[in-house]
Amino acid sequence: MDIADKAEGIIRVSLAEDLGSEGDITTRAVCRPGDVGKGQLVCGEPCTLAGQPVADRVFALAGPGASYRQLVQDGDSAAAGQVIGEVEGPLVAVLSGERTALNFLCHLSGIATLTARLVAMAAPHGVKIMDTRKTTPGLRVLEKYAVSAGGGTNHRVGLYDGVIIKDNHIAAAGGIPVAVRRARNALGDELPLEVEASTLAEVRQAVDSGADIIMLDNMSPGQVEKAVAIIGGRAKVEVSGGMNPDNIGSYLGSGIDFISLGFITHSAPPVDISLRLVE
């Protein structure tokens, strides 16, 4: 199943949000019945592209007879002024789908572009850039897809496919050792077991309890270096909490394995992409 199939529900909802029950009243009033045309989607700035199959599906659903041709594939770079796609068909379908298609392309390409920049920064240090569950409600599958298009690594998709023992789990269980033991007893080695630690004492408890991954939460670069020394290669190390493009460079040389940041999904600036009709 490709990304457009996975996201068709939200695509339909987004189109319905724009068209309402009356449809595109402006285009119907201005354009004559049967008018057809061709539009080019143009990048206004350099970017890493994401969302092409989604745009394709938008135009297919916006009205019968519209077809979209992808000229640049997701994950590839596009230059300012480059035509990334062409849509042809009845103008009522082309113009009715325009804004929805662009909303997806601009947002997802923004995520992919920022992700690609951070991945390039982290790669020389052997550090992977990961996303989080801090996504726009309803858009998680698309936003995590965009992270992948930018070369990033998806963390767990939801609560159902990864084990992360966080502060409230630790409080509920009465401590890290108890929480880890219960998770091991319930799940065995089916999935890697990750534990969040916000102090060096918690780091020692997590590594001594047999955590596979230790998430260092809101620690300074100096604290991270001390935590990495305590862990001593007995677990993978993830840094999280407050990470953003301006500060991750301070953590890259500390011997960590992953940086996870919600910033790449909830705060990535959209890319400038527009549609223009051509002869």
Which residues are identified as catalytic? 99, 134, 166, 196, 217
Sheet holding 236-240, edge to edge: 128-130, 258-260, 236-240, 213-217, 193-197, 163-165
Distance of alpha carbon 195 from alpha carbon 209, whole angstroms: 10
